[in-house]
Amino acid sequence: MRWKGKSIGEVLAMSVDEAVEFFAAHPSTHHALRLLQDVGLGYLTLGQQSPTLSGGEAQRIKLVTELSKVRTDAQGNAASRPGRGGADGKTLYVLDEPTVGLHMADVEKLLRVLHRLVDAGNTVVVIEHNLDVIAEADWIVDLGPEGGDAGGCIVAQGSPEALVAPRETGHTAKVLRNFLKDRRLAA
Which uninterrupted H or E stretch holds 35?
helix 27-38
Look at residue 28 and tell me whether its pLDDT is greater than 50: yes
Q: pLDDT digit string (tens) for 109-137?
A: 899 989 988 998 999 999 999 999 999 99
Separation of alpha carbons 19 and 10, rounded Å: 11
**Alpha-carbon separation of residue 18 from 23, 34, 44, 50, 104 (angstroms):** 9, 11, 10, 19, 21
Q: pLDDT digit string (tens) for 172-186?
A: 999 999 999 999 888
Least confident of 68-77, 103-112, 117-126, 134-143: 68-77
Radius of gyration of the chain (CA): 19
The confidence band for 74, taking pLDDT boundaries of 50, 70 and 90, is very low
Separation of alpha carbons 55 and 178, rounded Å: 29
Per CATH, the number for 8-138 is 3.40.50.300
Look at residue 43 and tell me whether its pLDDT is greater than 80: yes
Residues found in the chain: 187
> Position 62: which residue type?
K
Please state the domain extents for the chain.
8-138, 139-187
At 76 the pLDDT is 45
Residue 90 three-state SS: coil
Look at residue 82 and tell me whether its pLDDT is greater than 50: no
